[in-house]
Structure 1
Amino acid sequence: MNICVFCASSQTIDNKHLDLAAEVGTELAARGHTLVSGGATVGCMGAVTSAARAAGGRTVGVIPQVLVDIEVADTDSDELVITADMRERKGVMDARSDAFLVLPGGIGTLEELFEIWTARVLGIHDRPLVILDPWGLYDPLRELVVGMHAQGFTRADVFDAISWTRSVPEAMDHLEARPKPVRPSAEELGEAVG
């Protein structure tokens, strides 16, 4: 499988996040998967790709030209795709991936998560979407979505579209399992978009 990992490129985070990203890269390679990443060499993004390659895995980096220009591109990737902008980057990462794994990250990671999650809820794709969150960074987000559902802003299948995990093996098992499709009705689609 081609597994897309969304994660932080921040260089100011605790080392435990870098260690987690490295563990993910190592495990992806050990299970024979290809890593699709944001194509940078910094932060968790650099840690996951370096570890995947060190374990014999194949890596595909997708990075916009503006980030190449500031010299953070992962030129050691087996394949480095340079896009015109961030929107094209997300589209290429989406098109090249069979599953999505979200590690702790910032607002860029959240943007990527929400786009893939929304598309899954709308039935645009049925690929696995997994959050790996050992330390509970995304717990408030989960509670927010529970509250949105309680107030009628989301359908119950918003929870079927995503798996929340705490360990690398658990996350990998969810990525490799085929999730049940989320297929909204025409009425539900109107509610989801509206």
Structure 2
Amino acid sequence: MNTLKRIAVYCGSNPGLNSAHKVATLALGDDLARQGVGIVYGGGNVGLMGALADAALAAGGEVIGVIPASLMAKELGHGGVTQLHVVGTMHERKQLMVDLSDGFIALPGGFGTLDELFETLTWLQLGFHDKPVGLLNVGGFFDGLVDFIHHMCQTGFLKPEHEQCVLVESSHARLLERMRAFQPPQLGKWMEQMVQDAR
């Protein structure tokens, strides 16, 4: 079982058009706080990011924000979080979020959310970390993405064991259960096979 002391949550700086996304975000923030699981997130005070932080803080949870200085200058940083790390670049932001976290959950969002999600998955695939990565698929938001990940597997660009690394659930309670039970793929095995295939 994986001990999830802190989870990085990737989500939109916009609220989106479907109110169900905000409802799910508030429920996740509240429940993680009540379970004693800290949240690491992008440090913003707007959109789903702000809603997540506010819900967790209201329930007495630990919330750690990581935000680039350029966004702080636009007054987008959340002033009420437990800790707010101001970094120089997006690369530093993503690295620190990974370092501070025991697992990762993506909620609905845009390019930034997908960037964080796929970099985290790539690092898992390459063995740079062994932490679980989940998609909270609220209202089928990620259905098309899940289909495309399967397409990458079917066309030979992704190993089946790496497709299985993307934990997808519509319930955050079920997603957390699977994250706690997650076993990472064996890095050496698939890389050896990749070298053999290339010969």
Residue 66 of structure 1 aligns to a residue whose secondary structure is helix
Aligned to 1:60: 64
Aligned to 1:172: 176
Aligned to 2:185: 182
Residue 40 of structure 2 aligns to a residue whose secondary structure is strand
Residue 71 of structure 2 aligns to a residue whose secondary structure is helix
Q: Under a length normalisation based on structure 1, what TM-score does the superposition of the two structures give?
A: 0.92
- Using the TM superposition, give the Cα deviation of residue 75 of structure 1 relative to its aligned residue in structure 2, in angstroms: 1.3
The alignment's C-alpha RMSD in Å is: 1.5
Structure 1, unaligned runs of 5 or more: none
Q: CA–CA distance in 1 between the matches of 2:155 and 2:178?
A: 29
Structure 2, unaligned runs of 5 or more: none
**For the Cα contact (< 8 Å) 1:121–1:157, is it kept in 2?**
no
In structure 2, relative to structure 1, the CA distance for the partners of 1:124 and 1:183 (3 Å cut) is farther
Question: How many positions carry a matched residue from both structures?
Answer: 190
In structure 2, relative to structure 1, the CA distance for the partners of 1:4 and 1:190 (3 Å cut) is farther
Q: CA–CA distance in 2 between the matches of 1:103 and 1:12?
A: 11
Q: CA–CA distance in 2 between the matches of 1:67 and 1:58?
A: 22
C-alpha offsets along residues 101-133 of structure 1, whole Å, 9 cap, x if unaligned? 111111111111101111112222111111101
Q: CA–CA distance in 2 between the matches of 1:66 and 1:166?
A: 34
- Using the TM superposition, give the Cα deviation of residue 16 of structure 1 relative to its aligned residue in structure 2, in angstroms: 2.0
Moved over 4 A (4+): 188-191
**For the Cα contact (< 8 Å) 1:61–1:79, is it kept in 2?**
yes
Residue 130 of structure 1 aligns to a residue whose secondary structure is strand
Q: Bigger shift: 123-132 or 41-50?
A: 123-132
1:147 aligned onto 2:157: no
Q: CA–CA distance in 2 between the matches of 1:190 and 1:28?
A: 41
